[in-house]
Amino acid sequence: MSKKVLIEHEKSSILALLAAIDESMSLGDIEKSLTFSINKKTLQRRIKSLIDDGYIHSDGERNNTKYYVDKDKNVLKNVSKVLSEDLFKKGVRTKFENKDKHPIFSNSVMSLLSYLDTPSYAREKSSYQFTVIDEYIPNQTQYVPEAMRTRLYAAGKRFNEQLAAGTYAKKISQRLLIDLSYNSSRLEGNTYSKLDTQKLIEQGLSAEGKIHKETVMIMNHKEAIEFLIESASEIVLIPLTIRSIHSLLSQDLLANSHACGKIREVQVGISKSAYTPISNPHQLEEYLSLILRKASKVENPFEKSFFLFVQLSYLQAFEDVNKRTARLACNIPFIQQNLCPLSFIDVPQDDYLMSLLYFYETNQIEPALELFEWAYLRSCQQYEVITESLGEIDTYRIQYRADRKIVMGNIIRQKLDESAATKYLEQYCRENNIPLEDKFVSMTFVALSQLHEGSIIGLGITEKMFIEWKNT
């Protein structure tokens, strides 16, 4: 997006905001209410320009100055005119043309999204803007406004205690597997119903009349989500983690099987978009690492999640399955901090794609942020709020998790069969004073039976070791 068009978009958002409010607003109020970040001096310049053009007015002096649209003087008509004729010559509709409020997007964002009404071949061409990530400073740059963070945390909080990472996700794991697998696949055009998805995940029953690719897509989601849940306490935001998620999501789906979990070496295009991603593999690898390095430093889980959501989608680091990877990766902060996960329940495919395309081409986050907030609150409504005390949780499982991982790793490394593994576990319990020996042994065997290549992180073994043990 050119600087001129960007300025026009910023001015239109300010104008639409003031037109929708029945009272005057201070500079600070305007800054907080806008759905995108803008430097205060830049905001002052945009407001001054609108005042000079006669579209908004001010009252008061210095810190007490407030701004408003004078509805008594029929300024609303002029506002509509400037939005439709001056600021959005590229075919963008205004809030005044939208009689029915959109369930997700505000009127001002609907105006911005109408930029996409112009066919992609007629829109301004754009490429990956390195400054989008270069200029992002963790814990200083804010994609998610403070008021929104507070609102989302209040809705997503599930425990009053500090519990082990992944505790809440484990509590709702079966429901999460179905919801997230179904909705993430649906956003990719998968035609499985919610009920058929449940049957596939719980019973392994494929729905009749569905193509093999759709079945594989859902099962891949199941494995990838299980990896996130089971490895919650060990996961770190490094390229290997994202590549592992991609590998699980893309297995048996890509024409080039070697591309699973691997940084792409080919050029890709984005359907219905004027955006062209990076084509240099070295830059892709470098910027994936940079994105994750910055994300790992972000303290707020909602800022971290949204950052991963838009940045991983924008980078397009893999040949395919990039958006799916971003949708699961953005859940890592929620799973680790025992917040309600983001399952993208009821998110319309068109709205989802439009919000991302707008970010790809303009680098403006407003539509994606409003969609993110709506989707998260919608997810929170679907899961029963759990405020259990530590005494109601299986504290034994949590207390001896580290021991369980140690013995599982040793069993696999030594290629022990069930009989030898049982003797080893019993001896380990005696030597390490672990109570309830039978519970520990049975719990370990169940965990071993559920292992797969994507969930061996933290056991101190390689994939080759795991495969060799599994085949013994």
Residue set of the binding site:
320-327
User: Residue 316 — φ and ψ, nearest 5°?
Assistant: 55, 60
What are the strands, taking DSSP E only, across 11-132?
25-26, 57-59, 66-68, 126-127
The span from the CA of 34 to the CA of 366, in Å, is: 8
Q: By C-alpha distance, which of 366, 346, 382, 315 is closest to 187? A: 346
What burial class does residue 4 get, using C-beta atoms within 10 Å of its C-beta: 0-12 exposed, 13-18 middle, 19+ buried?
exposed
Handedness of CA 58, 62, 66, 72 (dihedral sign): negative
Contact between residue 257 and residue 247 where contact means Cβ atoms under 8 Å apart: no
CB atoms under 10 Å from CB of 131, counted, come to 8
Amino acid 186 reads R
The span from the CA of 127 to the CA of 93, in Å, is: 25
Both tokens assigned to 21: 């409010």
Residues that constitute the known binding site for ATP = 320-327
Q: Which residues contact 424 (CB under 8 A, 6 or more apart)?
A: 407, 410, 411, 414, 416
